[in-house]
Amino acid sequence: MKRRNSNNESVFLDANLLIYLNCIKNVEDRVPYEEFYYKVLESFTVFTDLLVLDELLWVSRKKYSVPYEVTIDFIYNAVLPYVNVLPIDINVLDSFFSVIRKYKLKPSDAIHLSVMKKNQIVTIVSEDKDFDSIQEFKRLWM
């Protein structure tokens, strides 16, 4: 497990920030995302799950034509040294179904929230405004 920050506050990192960091080639456009990522890493203990890495790989290739190998290198060098990857297992199944029924989210977002709930994480770093409607969680973005 990665080092915890002294304030011990945890956040869950959604795929959008990682996708921008991996895919934006123009330095001027990329800098605000880099600065935000550094701020998040400095301020919190950061977690994600394997489904976020799956989305990072898929969207980077499908939408931005970034080869899998480039994204895999990005994950090994810019994500895994700093971000804890939480497991997705059968223990989140009931929560997953409950979130789907209650909030009508995409299944992948419901999985993220279920993993967060299981690990007592209440803040998600995400551009996705769908999370704003869920009172138990708060969304953090630039």
Domain assignment present for 35: yes
Write down the pTM of the prediction: 0.92
Residue at 4 is within a domain: no
Q: pLDDT by residue for the chain (142 residues), tens digit each?
A: 455 555 679 999 999 999 999 999 999 999 999 999 999 999 999 999 999 999 999 999 999 999 999 999 999 999 999 999 999 999 888 889 998 999 888 999 999 999 999 999 999 999 999 999 899 999 999 9
- What are residue 86's DSSP bridge partners? 49
Q: Please check whether residue 2 lies inside any domain of the structure.
A: no
Structural domain boundaries enclosing 61: 10-140
Written as one string, the DSSP assignment of 21-88 is HHH---HHHHHHHHHHHHHHHHHSEEEEEHHHHHHHHHHHHHHH---HHHHHHHIIIIITTT-EEEP-
User: For residue 88, is it within any domain?
Assistant: yes
24, part of any domain? yes
Supply the CATH number for residue 33's domain. Answer: 3.40.50.1010
Domain count, the chain: 1
117, 86 Cβ separation under 8 angstroms? no
- What pLDDT score does 131 carry? 93
pLDDT at 92: 87
